[in-house]
Chains A and B, each alone.
Chain A
Amino acid sequence: MKRNITTTINGEARELAVETFHSLLDALRNAAGLTGTKKGCDVGDCGACTVILDGAPVCACLVLAAETDGCNVTTIEGLQSAPGSLHPLQESFMMLGGAQCGFCTPGILMMAKALLDENPNPTDDEIRFGIAGNICRCTGYTKIIDAIRDAAVQLRQEAKGGGKS
């Protein structure tokens, strides 16, 4: 029950041979070799596998790889704008201690990117609501929320043409 699919991953069209019963998560990690997307619970409860599918954040464990034929997927490997640079969210998570063990971090970064794409100036309550499906067992979330709020400021300044302070 092999399927050949063509999925655009991080801007690059990738031809992948997948099984009909493989999740997008397994296809990303095994067939595409992109292991930045983490497998936590594998049943949609933890958010560690969050990727952006055609503009919408989803749990890659709850999508069949075969369903993504012809779709656009952005993973943590595609978050940075250029090789060697970091996305403002990544900078903020580093500066403000938003990551501890780091296992939930790729999923939280992708969810935060989707959140800020939709709402560039969220309240703390809106940030909490946005990342409600991303479980972190280390941080207690305070520094994650600080980092997302900080990145939102940076991104708004960049959008205004002010660049990074």
Chain B
Amino acid sequence: MRPFDLLQPKTTDEAIALLARHGSRACLLAGGTDLLVEIKEGIRAPDVLIDAKHLPGMRDLVVSSSEGLRFGALVTARELETSPAVKDFYHGLWQALRELGSIQVRNRATVAGNVCRASPSADTLPPLIADGAVVAIMGPAGERHVTLEDFFTGAGKTVLNGDEIVTGFSVPKPLPGTGKCYVKHGRRKAMELATVGVAVTMTMTGDTCSSIRIALGAVAPTPIRARKAEAVLAGKKPDIELIAQCGAIAATETSPISNIRGSADYRRRMVEELVQRAITAAMEAAR
């Protein structure tokens, strides 16, 4: 590996000061499962890694149907995946976590890293956006909060300033009658990056869809909400025709690229299909 120094601050203030001092020469290290690969492959060449793993208060994981979900930036993907309450109440996120790399990778990887890397195809982003997750950010001026939906500004780009650190996430508690689903489409069943990712969080009141959030991955420079598609179903009684219309409209809201994993046209067609499947599964789960 290309040589770099490793700094291991013990407080968040110290870490922020180090980030400010070293600027673009430094990268913040959490799980390292993406950063170390990018260093090995020459995509990034930092002179300094600032290891976040000794920062206090970032390993908490609190999850229940009454309080919602809160977790620190150092909580690993595997810790979330193996939490029964995450599986029960944040099922879309749980499905996405199981698609992220391998168990070996998930034992190191953090959701905070997945978020800050801001890859358009990152699996955990659509379900967290569908669930209304909020990012906690610490910087020299103190703490601020940004909804995850507004966190991304482009492929690999976020609202984070160079001297800010993501410290954790909070996700609202699920309303009664809520069902969730994440569908990942790839070329193989494991160790894959998403060609298309679709997350749906849907609340049913009787036969009526009282609220729905649809988030799409790998079909735009950032994960996106399919708001026009959501409007098709919100307040309506979903049937096969409405759900099909919802899928077709969601496909028009995307701006995919063609790459080795699929053409733009293929991605749009898969969005149309997978949105319908995800809605059907979420509706089933909401009962």
Determine whether the beta carbon of A44 is less than 8 Å from that of B6.
no
Say yes or no: is B108 at the interface (Cβ < 8 Å to chain A).
Answer: yes
Cβ of A9 to closest chain B Cβ, rounded Å: 18
Say yes or no: is B245 at the interface (Cβ < 8 Å to chain A).
Answer: no
Say yes or no: is B153 at the interface (Cβ < 8 Å to chain A).
Answer: no
Q: Which of B32-62 contact A (CB under 8 A)?
A: 32-33, 36-37, 40-41, 49, 51, 53
Say yes or no: is A36 at the interface (Cβ < 8 Å to chain B).
Answer: no
| Residues from chain A with Cβ under 8 Å of B108 in the complex | 58-59, 62-63
Chain B interface mostly:
loop
Digitize A22-46: 1 where CB-to-B-CB distance is under 8 Å, 0 elsewhere.
1100000000000000000011110
Say yes or no: is B105 at the interface (Cβ < 8 Å to chain A).
Answer: yes
If A1-B6, A21-B2, A62-B36 touch, whether A132 touches B105 (CB-CB below 8 Å) is no
If A45-B191, A132-B191 touch, whether A50 touches B32 (CB-CB below 8 Å) is no
- Point out the residue from B37, B53, B190 that lies within 8 Å of A62, measured CB to CB: B37
Cβ of B206 to closest chain A Cβ, rounded Å: 36
If A57-B104, A59-B104, A64-B32 touch, whether A21 touches B41 (CB-CB below 8 Å) is no
| Residues from chain A with Cβ under 8 Å of B78 in the complex | 56
Say yes or no: is B107 at the interface (Cβ < 8 Å to chain A).
Answer: yes
Determine whether the beta carbon of A67 is less than 8 Å from that of B51.
yes
Say yes or no: is B103 at the interface (Cβ < 8 Å to chain A).
Answer: yes
A57 to B102, CA, bound (A): 10
Chain A interface mostly:
mixed
Q: Which of B183-212 contact A (CB under 8 A)?
A: 189-191
> Told that A61-B36, A62-B37 touch, could you supply 4 new A-B pairs with CB distance under 8 A?
A43-B40, A44-B104, A47-B102, A58-B107
Cβ of A51 to closest chain B Cβ, rounded Å: 9
Chain A residue, CB-CB nearest to B3: A21
Determine whether the beta carbon of A42 is less than 8 Å from that of B40.
yes
| Residues from chain A with Cβ under 8 Å of B98 in the complex | 129
If A23-B1, A43-B37, A64-B36 touch, whether A58 touches B6 (CB-CB below 8 Å) is no
Determine whether the beta carbon of A62 is less than 8 Å from that of B32.
yes
Determine whether the beta carbon of A133 is less than 8 Å from that of B104.
yes
| Residues from chain A with Cβ under 8 Å of B235 in the complex | none
Determine whether the beta carbon of B190 is less than 8 Å from that of A132.
yes
Cβ of A32 to closest chain B Cβ, rounded Å: 18
| Residues from chain A with Cβ under 8 Å of B53 in the complex | 67
A67 to B31, CA, bound (A): 11
A56 to B49, CA, bound (A): 24
Determine whether the beta carbon of B107 is less than 8 Å from that of A133.
no
Q: Which of A107-136 contact B (CB under 8 A)?
A: 111, 114, 129-130, 132-135
Say yes or no: is B132 at the interface (Cβ < 8 Å to chain A).
Answer: no
Determine whether the beta carbon of A44 is less than 8 Å from that of B33.
yes
| Residues from chain B with Cβ under 8 Å of A50 in the complex | 104
Determine whether the beta carbon of A20 is less than 8 Å from that of B6.
yes
A44 to B31, CA, bound (A): 12
Say yes or no: is A19 at the interface (Cβ < 8 Å to chain B).
Answer: yes
| Residues from chain A with Cβ under 8 Å of B241 in the complex | none
Cβ of B267 to closest chain A Cβ, rounded Å: 23
Q: Which of B238-285 contact A (CB under 8 A)?
A: none
A47 to B106, CA, bound (A): 12
